[in-house]
Amino acid sequence: RHKFWETQPVGQFKDLGDASLPEGPIEPPTPLSEVKQEPYNLPSPYEWTTCDLDSEDMCNEVYVLLTNNYVEDDENMFRFNYSKEFLRWALHPPGYYKSWHIGVRVKTSKKLVAFITGVPARIRARDTVVVMAEINFLCVHKKLRSKRLAPVMIKEVTRRVHLENIWQAAYTAGVVLPTPVSTCQYWHRSLNPKKLIDVGFSRLGARMTMSRTIKLYKLPDQTITPGFRKMEPRDVPAVTRLLRNYLKQFVVAPDFDENDVEHWLLPKEDVVDSYLVESPETREITDFCSFYTLPSSILGNQNYSTLKAAYSYYNVSTKTPWIQLMNDALIVAKRKDFNVFNALDVMHNETFLKELKFGPGDGKLHYYLYNYRINHVLRPSELGLVLL
Ligand code: YNC
Ligand code: MG
C-alpha cells in the first residue's frame, strides 16, 4: 500500500497498538562515514539545486513554484500562498542549514519544479529532548505528479539531515501516512463572513440571513484585557519563561530557548504577530497569544483573489481566561483586516473554540515523527507543537 513509506523507519500500521515496542528511536544513528556522500539520483531530465532564500531571484522562484503548485483544499478552491518574507522567516531559524533547502530543476530550462525543506529544532517527546529536522514545503510541480519524485526528495533531505548528525524529524501532512502521532482538526472563526461566503469558504447557515451572520461574528474595535499589548524585544526573556513553563505539560512540544523565541515569536510584519498581557499592577507577563499570516489564493473567483488568514500559533494563559485572551487575539486580527482566524484543536485550544464561534473545518492535519516511536496515538490536546 505504501511502497515507499513501508521501507522507512516510521511507525507502521501493523504495529499500532503494540505497546511492547520501546518508545524512542526506531533505528540507531549510523557512523557519519557510512552516510551516503553523493546526492540520490534523479530521473535524468532533472538536477538538484540548493536554494539560497537570501537571493531575491531564488526566493522568487520558490515563491512562484509554491504559489502555483502547493497545498490546496479538497475542493481545489484555495491554495496556500506563503509570502516571500514568510518563507525567509520559516527557513532561517537559529542554526539553519542552507543545504536543507532543496530544489529540483529541469536541466535544460533550469526551471524550478520541486522543493523540500528542513529546519533544525529541539523537540521534546515525553522526557527526552531530541534535535530534529522539521520538514516542510514538499512540493512537486503539478505536471510532474505521480512519477515517484517525492520519495527521492524525501530520501535526499534525509541524507542531508543525517550529514549534520541529526536522525529524527517532525512533519505534518493532510494525507494519511504510516503512522500519525496525532490527528488534528482545523477550526475557523469568521472575521469577514460576507467575503468568506462570497468566495465559497463558508456557507450561510440554515435560517440565517447575511445581516444576522455579520452581527453574529461582530467584534469590538478595542481589546478588552488591561495590559494587553504587542510583544517587544525586551519581553523575550519573560515570554520564554512563560512559554517553556506552559509547554512542559504536553507530550510532544518544542524546547524553545530565548533565541528561538526571538526568532519565532517576536512580531514580524505580515508574518507573525504576538501579544501579551503585562499585569498593570505587578508588571508581570501573565499571558501570551500569537498567530502567523498565511494567505490563500482564491482559485477562479471574479471578485476576490486572496483570502487573508491568521493561524493560531503559541498561546499561554495563566491569569486572563482563555476565552478573553483569544477574543482579544480575534479583535486584533480583525483590526489587521484578516478575513478568518484558524486554529488547530491542539494544546488548550478546545477550551475556547466553540465559545468564540469557531466552526470545525473539513480537512484533517496529521502529525508525524520520523525515526521516533511514540506508543500511543496522542489526543490533539496532548500536542504542544505547531508547524507552519
Ligand atoms: C506527503 N505530503 O504516500 P507511498 S506536507 C509525505 N508527505 O509514497 P509521488 C507523501 N509523503 O505511499 P506526487 C506526501 N504526499 O507509495 C505523498 N507522499 O509509500 C508519498 N502536492 O510520490 C506517497 N505538499 O512523487 C507515496 O507523488 C509517494 O507526485 C508518492 O508528489 C507528492 O511538506 C507531493 O501537498 C506531496 O506537491 C510532493 O502531490 C505532491 O503526488 C504535491 O509519486 C501539493 O509520496 C503540495 C503538498 C505536501 C505538504 C509537507 C511535509 C512533507 C514531509 C515529507 C516526509 C519527511 C520525512 C522526514 C525526512 C527527514 C528525516 C530525518 C532524519
Ligand atoms: Mg512525482
Per-residue confidence of the chain (388 residues) as pLDDT tens digits?
899 999 999 999 999 989 899 999 999 999 999 999 999 999 999 999 999 999 999 999 999 999 999 999 999 999 999 999 999 999 999 999 999 999 999 999 999 999 999 999 999 999 999 999 999 999 999 999 999 999 999 999 999 999 999 999 999 999 999 999 999 999 999 999 999 999 999 999 999 999 999 999 999 999 999 999 999 999 999 999 999 999 999 999 999 999 999 999 999 999 999 999 999 999 999 999 999 999 999 999 999 999 999 999 999 999 999 999 999 999 999 999 999 999 999 999 999 999 999 999 998 999 999 999 999 999 999 999 999 9
Nearest CA to ligand 1 atom 45: 150
d(CA 384, CA 380): 9
From the CA of 166, give the closest atom in ligand 1.
Answer: 63
Instruction: Quote the ligand 1 centre to 266 CA distance (angstroms).
Output: 31
**To test the ligand 1 pocket, which listed residue (138, 159, 179) has its Cβ within 8 A of the most ligand atoms?**
138
d(CA 219, CA 221): 7
pLDDT of residue 210: 97
Ligand lying nearest the CA atom of residue 102: 1
From the CA of 132, give the closest atom in ligand 1.
Answer: 63
pTM over 0.90: yes
Nearest CA to ligand 1 atom 17: 150
Instruction: Quote the ligand 1 centre to 117 CA distance (angstroms).
Output: 12
Cα 297 to Cα 60, 80, 131, 258, 333: the distances in Å are 17, 6, 34, 34, 19
Instruction: Quote the ligand 1 centre to 138 CA distance (angstroms).
Output: 6
pLDDT of residue 44: 97
Active site residues: 388
Instruction: Quote the ligand 2 centre to 151 CA distance (angstroms).
Output: 8
pLDDT of residue 261: 98
ipTM: 0.99
* Residues near ion ligand 2 (Cβ under 5 Å): 140, 147, 149
Nearest CA to ligand 1 atom 15: 175
Instruction: Quote the ligand 1 centre to 157 CA distance (angstroms).
Output: 12
Which amino acids bring their CB within 6 angstroms of ligand 1? 2-5, 69-71, 133, 135-140, 145-151, 154, 157-158, 161, 166-169, 171, 173, 175, 177, 370-371
Nearest CA to ligand 1 atom 10: 150
Nearest CA to ligand 1 atom 18: 150
Grid coordinates representing 346 are 491542539
The identity of residue 194, as a single letter, is K
Instruction: Quote the ligand 2 centre to 9 CA distance (angstroms).
Output: 22
From the CA of 177, give the closest atom in ligand 1.
Answer: 3
